[in-house]
Structure 1
């Protein structure tokens, strides 16, 4: 048999191919023609399985039904077709005269294609398995003999080189195309930080790049997978998919029904695929689906789902890679959008706290000033008609101060914020009364909790009001001493105060207005005492620290 002429013709035909598909088509037909058999089928090795890639008659005749049956074949492992495993293991052409014997092929292959005799030619390139050529004559045709083996072996070596080179070139083009696609998708996704809009764009781009009928994103929410966004969801399923979680909150781990959360799961026949046995896939007539985890920076966000409702769709390896690349970008975009939303909310909260602090301190000091002035007026007022009115106004001011403290958060609770408020209080008292006053603190005021700070501030306000009403001319000091487990506080006036000769008061006079102060300190498990210095007045006490 003349080997050279067919090899030259096949080589020239291969050179004219413009794509992997056209290469496989030319290779299958010319190989069948050169070997003098009816038909040649090509199976390519992908992910440890043989995938049907091309089948041609030597005559160029078409048989649409047979082609559809061939294209619909499931990828098979070597265990499913022992004769293919033998050709690979022995690295030689295997001649089969009786395909029906010994379970050499899956039964449905024999039933569908009815081979009479055939050759299985392993395609090897540098010890790498590229695929197989299957040359056959249908049942009743001329038998294939040993005379075909040598030519088939030579063509197989040439075919393996051509296919490997074409796949490498195609892989390079696909990688470049995937990179460009991911860059485009990244620009689209990254053009906004609004979480809902980010998710909507992700679903749109994912559906577009793989030609899916629909796409959706489900995110983890309280141990469930809940819908975040969808693209081209059928109207009859929209409301259900929009409102219902895929996984019930009682599920120990969201996504468990998807198997390994780091791995994509897909099927071109969802209805008959046991991997998609979850109830949700029975409720909706999905034909093909790919579910890809949204994961980045070791954080599992949720899943990206692409679905085909109207027809079955088998994903090529490059398409699955592309979807996984989009999913990684999507996870990062969702994480960033969440962080941005959280930062935005924190900024709003910080601004609110800042304004609350300003209003709290400003209004508190203003109302304290008003109350102090009213106290001075009441002290000097001799009009029986005017005093009740001033008392009523003073009560209203006190009520306003209480409401301000309830409605607005106090100023900063750290050492600087509290110290600044007390310093402001002393400054306001000094300006209004003309009485010298100073504040001294020893220890870290940042250890004072909000309730202790509030109690101390009110105590000092009320103490200063008493001093102002008495019209003292001495000097006022406020002192804070913080120890390991308590804070000692003191307000002292070195002029006037309690009756002469009284060193200590068990209870302050009613007109001093310290009833609430005493109750407040005791409610915090503290103590307060009132002392009379030989020429002045002092309140002193302690409050426990956490």
Structure 2
């Protein structure tokens, strides 16, 4: 064929069409090279940081620049196939406020979650699968969505809308964004692994610090647990919940951060703690020895990002360590408590076996000397010494009982209730009353009589605190020969008239209690000389109440009456029947 005539349609080697064709090819090549350089630049940019939030934002920015999209977003998919995080570009703050809640994975966004393949739409508003836009959302038309994979698992999706220099995204745009998504998957995995390693290190460090704090018996361990967990989980509030007597209820023991007023002390159902709180919540059970001993609750504001699977995993490890540390600390506290109780029992035993018996033997020896002593004066002095020894034995026995009961959480005995009332009165009186027991109180006095005696003692000490202006109070409780007697003596202003019209209802009640139990109630209160109150009753409540005289032979003035009984430790108990002055 003639080269000059050449078939009519061939491009002439150096004609205008040939040059134009070559120029167009050169332009396409330049554009392609430019876009490839843009892709390389975008890949370098997303891989230049190890902070996951920064990496996610850079991926969206690079994708928008690469295909000239006005708006872009990256949605992170949660385990329940919703969007747990939504990183967006192109929206200013006022626009975000108008839109409100971020997308959770409905409509076209949800389609990409269910079917993770690239998707291009010329106009998203006309697609029947679209869910529409919320009020305040800017208009959008062209759409390009591409999944981001880490290995075989879909991490999330890139969403790009409104191509600015054309009406729609092209197949070449799709290929470029797919290439960027592949690089982004590697960058995300590196950043996520780095961030998780850093967070795991912080959780482990917090576990170590709290365990050390617990084993050192530091103050407020639960508050420290809640505060550290809130800091590391980047939560807005945290709470530690402990079980109540009912297994179906928990009580909020401590709470930190932005929590509603009155949350501490609130009782919540164990099946759904803090169900009324808005925003993302993470509830991790505290499990020790296979049993739930409470829960750690972490929460964020309603606009905060959801907790991830990694958050739950790391918090669970932290809580597991803390539950074990709490169990160890409790075991250590129990061991120390047992050691203290054993030491108190040893001291009490030594006091009884050695000290009391030696004093008792001395008192018996002195009693033997009384009958062989000439002169009333010397006899009185020896008797006074014997009384002092009796008083000392009674005080030591009271101390033994206090040592043996302190730290025990069982139902208090009558002696224990009396000790508690005297301890409570120390605050209102401004000083500690002197207390003395005589006789086997707990084994002889029935519950009904004991309740009356406790009520009378409480009222008597209350009257002293309010009216007597006393600086000393002596409380003595006798139980002997089927009778129990309570004496309360103070050195206050006196002048109480139990039979006059001004007699208080408290004194009337004391008298009625004594009469109901077949006992007596006597008050001796000369003006300016203090008050002596003596209340007595049968140790067993009469049925019906009788009127017998329960006096044990010692009036309120106190003659010398030595009766043997059994103290709380099973030893012999000697009562002098005298007041604190020994007269």
When residues 116 and 110 of structure 1 are mapped into structure 2, their CA distance, relative to the original with a 3 A threshold, is: farther
CA distance in 1, matches of 2:363, 2:75: 94
Question: Counterpart of 1:42?
Answer: 74
Q: Hey, what's the Cα distance between the residues in 2 that align with 1:118 and 1:357?
A: 88
Aligned length: 373
Shift of 1:165: 1.5
TM-score by length of 1: 0.54
Task: After superposition, give the CA deviation of every residue in 1:436-495 in whole Å (9 maximum; x if it has no partner).
Answer: xxxxxxxxxxxxxxx9xxxxxxxxxxxxxxxxxxxxxxxxxxxxxxxxxxxxxxxxxxxx
Distance 2:270 2:71 in 1: 46
Aligned to 1:458: none
RMSD: 4.8
Question: Any idea what the Cα deviations from partners look like across 1:366-420, whole Å, max 9, x if unmatched?
Answer: 2564477579879x979999999999999998898788667636999xxxxxxxx
Q: Is the 2:142–2:168 contact (alpha carbons within 8 Å) kept by the matching residues of 1?
A: yes
- The answer for unaligned runs of 5 or more in structure 1 is 249-253, 259-275, 413-450, 452-515, 521-546
Task: From 308, 331, 334, give the equivalent of 1:339.
Answer: 331
Residue-by-residue CA offset, 1:116-148 (whole Å, 9 max, x unaligned): 23233233454322322333337997144xxx2
How far apart are 1:356 and its partner, in Å?
A: 0.5
Alignment of 1:50-449 (within 5 A): 50-56=83-89, 63-66=92-95, 72-76=101-105, 81=109, 83-85=111-113, 87-88=115-116, 92-100=117-125, 103-108=128-133, 112-137=137-162, 142-144=167-169, 148-149=170-171, 151-153=173-175, 155-156=177-178, 158-192=179-213, 193-194=216-217, 196-223=219-246, 224-231=249-256, 240-242=262-264, 245-247=265-267, 255-258=270-273, 277-278=275-276, 281=277, 290-306=282-298, 312-315=303-306, 317=308, 319=311, 321-367=313-359, 369-370=361-362, 373=365, 408=400
| Shift, 1:93, TM fit | 2.6
Alpha-carbon distance between aligned partners in 2 of 1:87 and 1:153, rounded to the nearest angstrom: 18
Distance 1:177 1:70, change over 3 A: farther
Are 1:43 and 1:52, in contact at CA under 8 Å, matched by a contact in 2? yes
SS of 2:158's partner is strand
TM-score normalised by L of structure 2: 0.51
Distance 1:399 1:56, change over 3 A: closer
Q: Structure 1, residues 328-350: CA drift from partner, whole Å, max 9, x if none?
A: 44434433443333333222222
Whether the 8 Å contact between 1:213 and 1:308 is mirrored in structure 2 is yes
Q: Corresponding residue for 2:45?
A: 16
- Alpha carbons of 1:228 and 1:364: their partners in 2 closer, same or farther (altered >3 Å)? same
| CA deviation after TM superposition for structure 1 residue 364, in Å | 4.4
Q: For residues 400 and 127 of structure 1, do their structure 2 counterparts lie closer, same or farther at Cα, with a shift above 3 Å needed?
A: closer
* Counterpart contact for 1:360–1:411, Cα < 8 Å: no
C-alpha contact 1:82 1:104 (8 A) present in aligned 2: no
Residues 95, 119 of structure 1: 8 Å contact kept: yes
- CA–CA distance in 1 between the matches of 2:127 and 2:218? 60
Deviations 1:230-289 (A, max 9, x none): 44568xx66x344xx3226xxxxx52223xxxxxxxxxxxxxxxxx544xx4xxxx7665
Structure 2 stretches of 5 or more lacking a match? Answer: 1-27, 405-442, 444-562, 567-583
What SS does the aligned partner of 1:257 have? coil
CA distance in 1, matches of 2:237, 2:56: 32
In structure 2, the CA distance between the partners of 1:141 and 1:209, relative to structure 1 (3 Å rule), is same
Higher alpha-carbon deviation: 163-172 or 39-48? 39-48
1:79-98 C-alpha deviation (Å, 9 max, x unpaired): 8855325642xxx4333345
Q: Is the CA contact 1:93–1:149 (under 8 Å) kept in the aligned structure 2?
A: no
SS in 2 for 1:120: strand
Gap change, CA 1:228 and 1:343, over 3 Å in 2? farther
Shift of 1:37: 4.8
Q: 1:21 to 1:8 in 2, by over 3 A?
A: farther
CA distance change for structure 1 residues 361 and 298 in 2, over 3 Å: closer, same or farther? same
Report the CA distance shift for 1:97/1:83 in structure 2 as closer, same or farther (over 3 A). Answer: farther
Change over 3 Å in CA distance of 1:402–1:231 after alignment to 2: same
| CA 1:396–1:169: 2 relative to 1, 3 Å | same
TM-aligned CA distance change 1:319 to 1:51, over 3 Å: closer
Cα shift at 1:325: 4.5
Equivalent position SS for 1:181: helix
Give, in whole Å, the separation in 2 of the partners of 1:22 and 1:393.
89
